[in-house]
Every structure is written in structure tokens, then in C-alpha cells.
Amino acid sequence: VNGEIYNHRDIRARLGLKYEFLTGSDCEVILALYKEKGIDFAIKIYIPEELPIDQCDLGIVVGNALDNAIEATEKSNFDTKKIEIIMGVKKESLVIVVKNPFEGSLRKDKDGNLLSTKDEFYKHGYGINSIIKVAEKYNGDVIIEEEERKFIIMITMNLKDL
């Protein structure tokens, strides 16, 4: 993804005294910008450099999960605003877990499908559906739970026989 955030050097220079940068990646400035907004991240990623998953598909899953987590966290009134991201390989599957603060309760339609909690919910929910489609492409699954005022999405994607 390096090279996608064109002004990352300017942002890095502006935030350099407030944030300890660990890499030269242009994407790391995103974490610093959210930290400035009061959102903290706990990130545990244990994956090999090479995965038999299309980068675009991985981007759809991680991007949509993070977009939803950030939006919900920004809207929350909790004192602690932390997003947890865990990625690893277990039993020949890529496992991605994203947890974020969540106020309210999950809404589902009569068939048990998750509905957006946003106003005009019928115009939203495409991100979760995109995650589900990619997980299914890799014979995986998506589990969404609400636990102790946290929204938790767990995505599995099969790495075997691809």
C-alpha cells in the first residue's frame, strides 16, 4: 500500500513529536491521525508475508471491517475508545477478528440477517455483505456478535486448496 497516501511525509512531520512511528510505511500515519482523535488501536497480526488470498479480497475484508469499527467508535460516548484487530492463521484458515466499542444492540431482519444501525438503514450494510461474499469465496465464514458493549466480527477464510 506504500505510496497511496501522498502527503504522509507532511503528516508524519506534523505528528512526529506526539506519536512514535515504528515503520516507514505511509499507512502508519493513519493510526497516528486516529490516535489524535482519541481512538486507540490494539493490533496483533501473525500472518505470513505471502497468503494465497487475492490482495483486493483481503482489502475488501479488512477495509470494510475497519471502516465500520472506526465509524462506530467515533460515534460512541465511551471514555475508552479502542479498536482491537487480531489476524492469524489457524488450522489452514486466515482468521480476522475486529472488536470495537458498540452502543445499542444488533438489529436483524426476519431472516436473521444483520441490519445497519444507521439512519435509513436500508441504504447501508453493503460493507458487511461484501465481507460475507469474500469469506464465502474462500469457503469461510463471518460471525458477528455483541458482547460486553463491543461489536465483534470474526472472519475466516480457508487457505487450503485455493
Query: Does the predicted TM-score (pTM) go above 0.75?
Result: yes
- Residue 117: pLDDT band (50, 70, 90) is low
Identity at 64, one-letter amino acid code: N
Question: Which of the two residues, 17 and 77, has the higher pLDDT score?
Answer: 77
- According to the model, what pLDDT value does residue 130 have? 94
- Residue 33: pLDDT band (50, 70, 90) is confident
Interval 5-30: pLDDT, tens: 677 788 888 887 788 888 877 777 88
- The position carrying cell 493513519 is 30
- According to the model, what pLDDT value does residue 141 have? 96
Interval 134-162: pLDDT, tens: 999 999 999 999 888 999 999 999 998 76
SS3 145: strand
What average pLDDT does this structure show over 78-85? 92
Secondary structure, 3-state, 38-101: CCEEEEEEECCCCCCCCHHHHHHHHHHHHHHHHHHHHHCCCCCCEEEEEEEEECCEEEEEEEEE
Interval 42-53: pLDDT, tens: 999 999 989 999
Phi, psi of 67, deg, nearest 5: -55, -45
The overall average pLDDT reported for the chain is: 85
What average pLDDT does this structure show over 31-40? 84
- According to the model, what pLDDT value does residue 2 have? 44
